Chain A
Amino acid sequence: MNDFSSALGNAFELVTRLDPQLFEIVGLSLEISLSAVLIAAIIGLPMGAALALSNFPGRRAAVIVLNALMGLPPVVVGLVIYLLLSRAGPLGPLGLLFTPTAMVIAQAVLVTPIVAALARQTVADLHEEYDEHLRAIGSGPLQRMLTLLWDGRFRLLTAILAGFGRAIAEVGAVLIVGGNILHSTRVMTTTIALETSKGNLGLALGLGIILVLMALTVNAAAMLLGDAAHRRLG
């Protein structure tokens, strides 16, 4: 109980004191996770839509695999990317290990299946509804995909927010590929892990509260943006 009360005190103090290191860590967390989600959206939305609209042998197997990939263990993803990016590995010469870029890559790998799988389901549902009409007005396959993606935009936004939640909250992958280096690759979750390992449980919990508030803020912003767009664009 002592830790919980000191946690709230810690969180409050860190924020009101405008602790510069806190803002550095929060900023890096947001930058990395938002970048990863952007990449995941660019790759995952068309991928999911294409999978929903296509018909090829093995399609059902592909859908099963995609859904299963939503549960990729972050620490395993981190390990695989570490082995790829290590100097001893195939992508070593790129020198990306222990950089924020490696962390973006790791999180993008984790988030893309989520966005793609949820996009696939959304587009498949809309496809059932719209297909006859879209064929009747003579739309081509690409036009059909874009129409369905746009009409499913609110559900897809939820999918993207789910991806963001996964990215901002994970620690296993970014710890391995980032190295938790002070001022360089230290983010909220790895800091919480570090402070916990130093026994500073109150501080760790305080940071955890801030992390949850961060996620709340992003979600609220997305919802407000969505509402504004809804009103303007209809």
Chain B
Amino acid sequence: MQLIDALVKPNKTDIAASDKTGAPTKVNPLLPAAVTDVSYAIDGCTLIDAVSCRLDGPGRTVVLGPNGAGKSVLLRLCHGLLSPSAGSIRWGGASPAETMQRRGMVFQRPVLLRRSVAANVAHVLKIKGLPRARCPALVKAALAQSGLTALAHRQARTLSGGEQQRLAIARAWLLEPHVVLLDEPTANLDPGATRAVEDLIVNLGAAGTKIIMTTHDIAQARRLADEVMFLHHGRLLEHRPAVEFFAGPDDANAAGFIAGQLIT
């Protein structure tokens, strides 16, 4: 069972699947996720326009699109940081707010506390109410996984961009969430740092966590995506397995985008 489940109270819509012997199987209680006719408008401006899709695991889903397509907004709607103007989002039958604790989120620019690297990680455990005795071991493991052990006592804000982002991922991954949402995680990083972060994301997904990531970088999408959702002007134009999508998208905008054109 994921560590997160030990800390978060289960809600009634959870399905504790088990096989005949009674042992629980590795089912992601947050999946399938259903986005139904979701729209988001603010100040008269429609940022997300009637998006519907069904997300299921395992694997990495990449939300691709040019800047301003609404990818960040969609991600925040899914996580529950924003409320849709219309439509609904359900994670395994429950609302985003109810299931927020079982997801991790990584922002484009990591928000780091004015504390050491280790303290930043430990802070998450403290918020979740983990008993103090267990914190040091978990922090150590998380830092080791992200290759940040040597930087444990440095002030988090003095880290390079790539190191900061790895810290943010370590923080998000710490409690073994069922889903991790990443919003353009390498947009501001150099290639070396990007590589390190992508490796981390791959490891994350391999451990069973569902990855949903936004990017405008086509090459990155090719590298990482198992499934692609193409967003443009707030509308979902394509949602297909990555192999099919990159072979030849149906939508003209999508085709133009992956060909390197500026689509408006």
Q: Which residues of A contact B (CB under 8 A)?
A: 129-130, 132-139, 143, 147, 151, 233-234
Which chain B residues in 103-142 approach chain A with CB under 8 Å?
105, 107, 111, 113-116, 118-119, 123-124, 126-128
Interface SS of chain A: helix
Given contacts A136-B105, A138-B128, A143-B127, contact A234 B116 (CB under 8 A): yes
Instruction: Verify if B83 is at the interface (C-beta below 8 Å from A).
Output: no
The answer to whether B153 and A234 touch across the interface, beta carbons within 8 angstroms, is yes
Q: Point out the residue from B115, B127, B153 that lies within 8 Å of A137, measured CB to CB.
A: B127
Distance between Cα atoms of A139 and B101 in the complex (Å): 9
Q: Point out the residue from B100, B115, B118, B171 that lies within 8 Å of A138, measured CB to CB.
A: B100
Distance between Cα atoms of A137 and B79 in the complex (Å): 11
Distance between Cα atoms of A134 and B118 in the complex (Å): 17
Distance between Cα atoms of A143 and B153 in the complex (Å): 23
Instruction: Verify if B155 is at the interface (C-beta below 8 Å from A).
Output: yes
Instruction: Verify if B86 is at the interface (C-beta below 8 Å from A).
Output: no
In the complex formed, the residue of A with least CB distance to B101 is: A138
Candidate in A132, A134, A137, A138 with the most chain B CB atoms within 10 angstroms: A137
The answer to whether A234 and B115 touch across the interface, beta carbons within 8 angstroms, is yes
Q: Which residues of B contact A (CB under 8 A)?
A: 79, 81, 100-101, 105, 107, 111, 113-116, 118-119, 123-124, 126-128, 153-155, 171
Given contacts A135-B81, A136-B100, contact A130 B111 (CB under 8 A): yes
In the complex formed, the residue of B with least CB distance to A132 is: B81
Contacts of B155 in A (CB 8 A): 234
The answer to whether A147 and B153 touch across the interface, beta carbons within 8 angstroms, is no
Contacts of B105 in A (CB 8 A): 136
The answer to whether B113 and A151 touch across the interface, beta carbons within 8 angstroms, is yes
Contacts of B124 in A (CB 8 A): 137
Given contacts A138-B100, A138-B127, contact A133 B153 (CB under 8 A): no
The answer to whether A136 and B114 touch across the interface, beta carbons within 8 angstroms, is no
Distance between Cα atoms of A133 and B104 in the complex (Å): 10
Given contacts A138-B127, A139-B127, contact A133 B116 (CB under 8 A): no
Contacts of A132 in B (CB 8 A): 81, 107, 111
Q: List 7 A-B contacts (CB under 8 A).
A: A129-B111, A132-B107, A137-B128, A147-B113, A147-B123, A234-B119, A234-B153
Which are the 8 A-B pairs with shortest beta-carbon distances?
A: A234-B116, A133-B111, A136-B105, A139-B127, A138-B101, A151-B114, A151-B113, A137-B124
The answer to whether A136 and B119 touch across the interface, beta carbons within 8 angstroms, is no
Distance between Cα atoms of A90 and B74 in the complex (Å): 61
- Measured between C-beta atoms, what is the minimum distance from B133 to chain A in Å? 20
In the complex formed, the residue of B with least CB distance to A131 is: B111
In the complex formed, the residue of A with least CB distance to B117 is: A234
- Measured between C-beta atoms, what is the minimum distance from B115 to chain A in Å? 6
Contacts of B101 in A (CB 8 A): 138
In the complex formed, the residue of A with least CB distance to B119 is: A234
Distance between Cα atoms of A157 and B81 in the complex (Å): 32
Distance between Cα atoms of A130 and B81 in the complex (Å): 13
Distance between Cα atoms of A233 and B117 in the complex (Å): 11
The answer to whether A136 and B127 touch across the interface, beta carbons within 8 angstroms, is no
Distance between Cα atoms of A143 and B130 in the complex (Å): 14
- Measured between C-beta atoms, what is the minimum distance from B29 to chain A in Å? 16
In the complex formed, the residue of A with least CB distance to B79 is: A136
Distance between Cα atoms of A99 and B9 in the complex (Å): 54
Given contacts A136-B79, A138-B100, A234-B155, contact A151 B127 (CB under 8 A): no
Candidate in A136, A138, A233 with the most chain B CB atoms within 10 angstroms: A136
In the complex formed, the residue of B with least CB distance to A144 is: B127
In the complex formed, the residue of B with least CB distance to A155 is: B114
In the complex formed, the residue of A with least CB distance to B116 is: A234
In the complex formed, the residue of A with least CB distance to B112 is: A133
- Measured between C-beta atoms, what is the minimum distance from B108 to chain A in Å? 11
In the complex formed, the residue of A with least CB distance to B129 is: A143
- Measured between C-beta atoms, what is the minimum distance from A130 to chain B in Å? 6
Contacts of B153 in A (CB 8 A): 234
